[in-house]
Amino acid sequence: MGIPFNRDSGRGVDSLGIPSEQFRETVRAALGRQDGPPSEPYSALTHNLTDIEAQAQTVRERIARETPELLDRLAATAGLRGWNVHRCDGAEEALGYVTSLVQTLGASSVARSEQAVFDSMPVDAAIAGAGGLCWPAVYEGPASRTGVRQRLAESGMGITGADYAIAETGSVVVLPRRGLSRLVSVVPPVHVAIVRPSDVVGTLDDLFALRRLEYVRNGGDMGSYLNFITGPSRTADIEQTIVVGVHGPREVHMVLLNEE
């Protein structure tokens, strides 16, 4: 068993330490086990594409049926986990909310990703109208790295889209893509996530069933990261007292669109 990989494997960096076969031999000896797969197949590891597709299809159908309830649940849970949830009927209302935030914060520099959600939401123009500057945090060659980072560190707000939002946990999920720096949602002190109804899933199990299908379809590539964001950055490391905004944002806003 195993998934055929299309990607070039490795980047030519040698493995250090002891050979993996020797390491596994120690483990095998400790277990008193013969080499080979488990005698009972592990059901969560099935690579039968038909099964995985069927499972994902069931999940998608249930989500489609329950979308209004899931949006309500997402809004409620996200609120409990520390998001400022703002439900909007359309792009215009969403833009109004974002610009009022920019004004309240007095943020002169607002970083954003370059994602499809902004195509129908001209956020740059709206923020410019409110006296701020909204700029896409994308790199143009390695030389721009330091400059983009420094600008990010000085920005008062970062705006991103979402790939998923989980009703069970109140989390926004982001996946890697061109146009989305990993730092936009974590470096500025305020993060705004734009969530569309089609992003919502019910549970952690829903999410992992859907991602697993993508993984197997992609020939075994997960993408470099899958990140959950659930409320503001917080710590309780001094006397169990909760403080928000220690290294990540102190304030997070979920702009939840009721329609696409």
Partner 1 sequence: MAEVVTRQFVPASQAAVKDAQLRQALRRAGTGFDGTRREAIEEVSPEVWEEWREEARRIKEHTIGHLDYYLEMLERNVTAAGGTVHFAVDAQQANAIVSQIARANNVQTVTKSKSMVSEELGLNHTLEAQEIDVFETDLGEYIIQLADETPSHLVAPALHKTRGQVAQLFADQLGVPYTEDIEEMARIARVALRQKFLDADMGISGANFLVAETGSLVIITNEGNGRLCTSAPRVHVGLAGMEKVIPSLQDLAVFLRLLPRSATGQRITSYMSMVTGPRRDEDEDGPEEFHLVIVDNGRSRLLADPALRESLYCIRCGACLNVCPVYQRVGGHAYGWVYPGPIGSIVTPGLVGLGQAKDLPNASTLCGACRDACPVQINIPRMLLHLRHNIAEGPESYRDAGSDTGSLLARGFAAIMSSPRLLGVGRKIGRRLLAPMAKGGVLGQSRIPLVSRWTRSRDLPVPAPRSFSEIWRDELSGKGPTGLQD
144 touches 103 (CB < 8 A): no
Which one of residues 180, 190, 255, 257 is an interface residue with partner 1 (CB under 8 A)? 180
In this chain, which stretch among 36-44, 84-92, 98-106, 157-165 interacts with partner 1, using CB under 8 A?
Answer: 36-44
193 touches 157 (CB < 8 A): no
In this chain, which stretch among 58-66, 85-93, 103-111, 201-209 interacts with partner 1, using CB under 8 A?
Answer: 201-209
Q: Following DSSP, what letter does each residue of 54-89 receive, concatenated?
A: HHHHHHHHHHHHHHHHHHHHHHHHHHHTT-EEEEES
Q: Which is nearer to partner 1, 227 or 258 (CB)?
A: 227
Report the C-alpha gap between 207 and 111 in whole angstroms: 28
Q: Which amino acid is at 45?
A: L
Residue 145 binds to partner 1 (criterion: CB under 8 A):
yes
Instruction: Give the burial string for 204-241 (b: 16+ CB within 10 Å, else e).
Output: eebbebbbbbebbeeeeeeeeebeebbbbbeeeeeeee
Compute the least distance from the CB of residue 90 to partner 1, in Å: 28
Compute the least distance from the CB of residue 38 to partner 1, in Å: 5
Residue 241 binds to partner 1 (criterion: CB under 8 A):
yes
Q: Which is nearer to partner 1, 128 or 186 (CB)?
A: 186
Which one of residues 153, 198, 217, 260 is an interface residue with partner 1 (CB under 8 A)? 153
Residue 181 binds to partner 1 (criterion: CB under 8 A):
yes
Residue 130 binds to partner 1 (criterion: CB under 8 A):
no
